[in-house]
Amino acid sequence: MCCRCVDLSLSNFAKSDTNADVFKSKFLEICIDAQGFCEIHRDGSKTNNGTASAAMSGDVVHRYGIKDPQNSVNFYL
């Protein structure tokens, strides 16, 4: 059986209160400990018009969009 490990330690730092260099340094520390693991990167954003997110690992990219609350229209990036 495969063990799935997710490191969420960067979530201990509030994005609005943490210097970008601190995030980068902590991320690089995690990378040293994660040799041989599969990297998955994700990002998301929220506006008044809707929400979108993306995740990628290697050459695989998944993009998602959520309904626009004003127009009730689905959108995908």
Predicted pLDDT at 71: 56
pLDDT at 77: 45
> What is the average pLDDT value for the chain, to the nearest integer?
77
pTM exceeding 0.75: no
pLDDT at 21: 93
* Res 38: pLDDT: 78
Predicted pLDDT of residue 25: 92
Which residues in the chain show pLDDT less than 50?
A: 1, 75-77
Four-point Cα dihedral 10, 8, 57, 63, nearest 10: -90
CA distance 17 to 41: 21
